[in-house]
A and B are shown apart, each in its own frame.
Chain A
């Protein structure tokens, strides 16, 4: 089945220690998104790639970076995680005009 895969599902890191979350897709969608979701809140868009074009949301902290080496993979790098970065990180993909988004299962990040 075509899908969006996120690894790992659970990630524990220490305050200030860089961490990378990964996302891969078999849907061949040209758009990939990273969202941050804190408890009882809506997903908050961090950035997205339209093909290779990177689009950063204005309020996304510089501490968050992303890489998309090819169509299938996208990475979220948190350079110096703080306690406030503990959250669920969701990867999603879409294609076409409608922008129906397909989500991965998420990575829950804990910062100690």
Chain B
């Protein structure tokens, strides 16, 4: 079985400052990794994904993430945040379990951008 740990439940950051949201995972099989963003009263929207190849992946809205297999991490970064980035961010891992590809979500990190 796989699991996902998001180390920070809330991250306050000033506008135009850089931010890193941390995600660690565990799995006994190979995985695909995702970051989703959720705005209030909306569904989850895919920010970026790691499937294979380059460990640095770029997503929408200026976000990027780096897959580190040795540290089993997939941290999300943005060099300069905007007010509109205020939202909840979920890390997710997809791995084969019980005969099908199962997705497990972390508990989420609330990013609060301060003007």
Contact = CB atoms under 8 A, between A and B. Distances in A.
Interface of A: 4, 6, 40-43, 45, 50, 55, 88, 90, 92, 97-106, 108
B94 A98 contact: yes
Contact of A108 (B41, B49, B100, B102): B41
**Among all A-B residue pairs, the 3 with the closest Cβ atoms:** A103-B43, A99-B101, A42-B105
Interface string B77-100: 000000000000010001000001
A100 B100 contact: no
B108 A40 contact: yes
Contact of B49 (A41, A97, A100): A100
A90 B44 CA distance: 9
Best-surrounded residue of B36, B101, B108 (most CB of chain A within 10 A): B101
Contact of B42 (A97, A98, A102, A106): A106
7 contacts: A42-B107, A98-B32, A98-B94, A98-B101, A99-B103, A101-B44, A103-B45
Interface string B38-61: 000111111001010000000000
B25 interface: no
B34 interface: yes
Nearest to A103: B43
A108 B38 CA distance: 14
B37 to A, nearest CB: 11
Contacts of B43: 4, 6, 90, 92, 103-106
B48 to A, nearest CB: 11
A33 to B, nearest CB: 8
